[in-house]
């Protein structure tokens, strides 16, 4: 399967579709519907062709005698290792409906995080786009005759006006877009090279997480995903080492994955989980202490559930603070662009008035 086709298939199925799939399958299986029949019914109900085809393929494999986890492992474009492992645990423990429900809950929580992050970035991106459109459209439409007259009379235009005209012409010139595409392709090639190198990937992620305002939010997103996934995996009985591995992979944060590798080594050598997390340096002290307290009291699952809820609340608060912090910055940016445009367009008019 080509990379492009794999990407297109995965993009056609969002977290909402996956959550509905797991929850519907859990409801039908819990009601006594055979697994292959439930999958066939879900295949007929899916609006998207790729997910419908995947459900039908799962139904065929389950009907032929395979475990659902084994069939899901053949659909790597859709189901992660965490999905497969959690379903496998449900099959072995007889808690399939519970495992599927937990997967649906996890996908819904991940979707909530993504929606909040996207919602926080939508307004700033729209404002920046509006500023670029204004700079590109205003000078040629409103002041082009005046600027043309000044150029024909040999009058020297002020520096801000020349900058605005050059920038406006560049935006309206098709060659500028060709150059932008070429530079963008070169940048993506360089970025892919950096991302494919494990150590460079971790270094760049840590640099982004060190940025003010945005960095703490990125780190909090990773910690929230880690805590939620860790709790669900631990709740259904997945061993601690595999909980750590799958939970770190679910965050899609290379720096956290690197930190968890050291944690896994220390836990494998016999150290407690709380102290291992603290020694890694990649987790907040409160999280490490709470995990340690859960180990000592024998209520690690309850403590992980509390931490997952706490980080969810912290993330929502952090996103709200970031949004409110970006609003004055965006207003200042818009004001600066408007002021520069007004000055750059008014200076030639003042110059013409002085010559009269």
CA atoms lying within 13 Å on the CB side of residue 206: 13
Band the pLDDT of 109: cuts 50, 70, 90.
confident
Span 278-301, pLDDT tens digits: 888 888 888 888 888 888 888 888
User: In the chain, what are the domain boundaries?
Assistant: 3-79, 108-356
Residue 230 clears pLDDT 70, i.e. is over it: yes
Whether the predicted pLDDT of 197 surpasses 90? no
Please report the pLDDT score of residue 136 as a whole number: 61
Nearest to 13 by CA among 83, 68, 60: 83
Q: Which residue has the higher pLDDT, 63 or 350?
A: 63
Chain-centre distance for alpha carbon 32: 37
Longest Cα–Cα distance of the chain, Å, equals 93
pLDDT value of residue 182:
93
- The two tokens of residue 285 are 């002290």
Check pLDDT > 80 for residue 253. yes
- Is pLDDT of 1 > 50? no
Three-state secondary structure readout of 97-139 = HHHHHHHHHHHHHHHHHHHHHHHHHHHHHHHHHHHHHHHHHHH
206 pLDDT exceeds 90? no
Residue 340 has what pLDDT? Answer: 77
Contacts of 99 (CB under 8 A, 6+ apart): 86, 87, 89, 90, 236
| pLDDT of 2 over the 60 cut | no
Q: Could you tell me the end-to-end alpha-carbon distance of the chain, in angstroms, rounded to an integer?
A: 72
The overall average pLDDT reported for the chain is 80
Fold category of 108-356 in CATH: Receptor-associated Protein (1.20.81)
Among 1-10, 61-70, 95-104, 306-315, the range of highest mean pLDDT: 61-70
pLDDT tier, 186 (very low <50, low <70, confident <90, very high otherwise): very high
Q: Is the pLDDT of residue 353 over 50?
A: yes
Alpha-carbon distance of 101 to 184, in angstroms, equals: 42
Q: Burial level of 333, CB count in 10 A (0-12/13-18/19+)?
A: middle
């Amino acid at each position: 399967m080509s990379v492009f086709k794999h990407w297109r298939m995965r993009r056609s199925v969002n977290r909402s579709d996956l959550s509905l799939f797991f929850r519907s399958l859990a409801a039908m299986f819990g009601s006594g519907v055979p697994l292959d029949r439930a999958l066939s019914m879900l295949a007929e109900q899916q609006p998207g062709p790729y997910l419908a085809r995947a459900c039908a393929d799962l139904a065929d494999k389950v009907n032929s005698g395979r475990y659902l986890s084994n069939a899901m492992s053949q659909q790597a474009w859709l189901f992660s290792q965490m999905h497969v492992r959690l379903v496998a645990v449900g099959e072995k423990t007889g808690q399939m409906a519970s495992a599927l429900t937990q997967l649906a809950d996890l996908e819904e929580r991940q979707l909530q995080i993504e929606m909040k992050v996207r919602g926080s970035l939508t307004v700033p991106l729209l404002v920046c786009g509006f500023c670029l459109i204004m700079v590109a459209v205003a000078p040629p439409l409103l002041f082009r005759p005046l600027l043309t007259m000044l150029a024909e009379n040999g009058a020297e235009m002020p520096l801000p006006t020349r900058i605005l005209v050059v920038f406006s012409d560049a935006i309206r010139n098709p060659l500028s877009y060709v150059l932008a595409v070429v530079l963008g392709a070169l940048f993506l090639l360089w970025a892919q090279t950096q991302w494919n190198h494990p150590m460079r990937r971790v270094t760049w992620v840590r640099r982004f997480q060190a940025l003010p305002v945005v960095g703490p939010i990125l780190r909090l997103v990773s910690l929230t995903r880690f805590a939620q996934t860790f709790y669900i995996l631990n709740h259904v009985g997945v061993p601690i080492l595999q909980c750590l591995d799958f939970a770190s992979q679910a965050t899609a944060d290379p720096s956290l994955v690197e930190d968890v590798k050291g944690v896994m080594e220390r836990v494998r050598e016999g150290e407690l989980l709380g102290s291992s997390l603290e020694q890694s340096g990649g987790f907040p002290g409160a999280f490490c202490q709470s995990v340690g307290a859960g180990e000592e009291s024998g209520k690690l699952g309850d403590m992980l559930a509390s931490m997952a809820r706490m980080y969810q609340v912290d993330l929502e608060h952090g996103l709200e603070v970031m949004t409110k912090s970006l609003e004055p910055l965006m207003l200042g940016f818009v004001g600066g662009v408007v002021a520069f445009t007004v000055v750059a367009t008014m200076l030639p008019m003042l110059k013409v008035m002085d010559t009269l």
